[in-house]
Structure 1
């Protein structure tokens, strides 16, 4: 048992590491970590959900294209929206993750800006595309919930980062 009032002589004592007990280097004050674990978790699982969403969405479009009397122009436009979605969603998640990990507000703000056209696409897919199947409603509802939670976290984390840099 070690007595807290006496100097340590164990294997990790300052003299065992090559220094002297009275000649210790002053430690830097520790900085509080500002990143949000909850935000990062929703970004991570949101990315996995996006993979599942994209595969299921393409399969639903293939089904609709083969089984339903789709006007050619509408089908092409809605199918292109799926490709446009992935071109926006991947950078959005990357920016959100990078901003959270580096504790910088700018990437998270850009991520939030990229979320706006994606929300418009989800709303279009839920209510305004040529044929809206029940699976479309379910997939897009889950995506809207994921994005809503991510947007809530992004606002909270951005405010946290800005306040921390403003008052230091």
Structure 2
């Protein structure tokens, strides 16, 4: 089986999961804003981080799919590098928020699992495409 096929399936799955994740995080943020009191600019910080994460994850998925379709390693490498800040944003939502709900633990854990699995298959997809062709 081709590892790039599994990478594409993971990117496709993550595109749908990310849409659900973003919508749930916005809904949870609105719920928290209505129910809890935030000190300082914590709510603004969390909203800006969620906005940054949405743009970052959209670009990362787009680069990964574009690189996989064209079988070029450079966009897949950039997509793989963008997993690090995207995962850091998810870890913030998982651990360092002002208020964390149990649903967020579940959503963020699944998102981190998808990132880790995509990272493994991205490396497997990059390896064959980065080798120099051998001519006889």
Which range, TM-score by smaller chain?
Answer: over 0.9
2:124 to 156, 159, 164: 156
Q: Which residue of 2 aligns with 1:60?
A: 28
Structure 2 residue ranges without an equivalent (≥5): none
Superposition deviation, residue 35 in structure 1: 6.9
Is 1:136 paired with 2:104?
A: yes
What SS does the aligned partner of 2:82 have? helix
TM-score (norm 2): 0.93
Q: 1:141–1:35: structure 2 CA closer, same or farther, 3 Å change rule?
A: closer
More helix by share: 2
Q: Which residue of 2 aligns with 1:77?
A: 45
Q: Would you say the 8 A contact 1:35–1:100 is kept in 2?
A: no
CA RMSD of aligned residues (A): 1.4
Greater relative CO, 1 or 2 (CA 8 Å, sep 6+): 2
Larger Rg: 1
Q: Residues of 1 paired with 2:6 and 2:106: CA distance?
A: 24
Is 1:126 paired with 2:106?
A: no
What SS does the aligned partner of 2:97 have? coil
Is 1:51 paired with 2:23?
A: no
Equivalenced residues, count: 134
Q: Would you say the 8 A contact 1:93–1:111 is kept in 2?
A: yes
What is the 5 A alignment of 1:3-152?
36-152=4-120
Superposition deviation, residue 167 in structure 1: 3.6
Instruction: Find runs of 4+ consecutive structure 1 residues off by over 2 angstroms.
Output: 165-168
Structure 1 residue ranges without an equivalent (≥5): 1-33
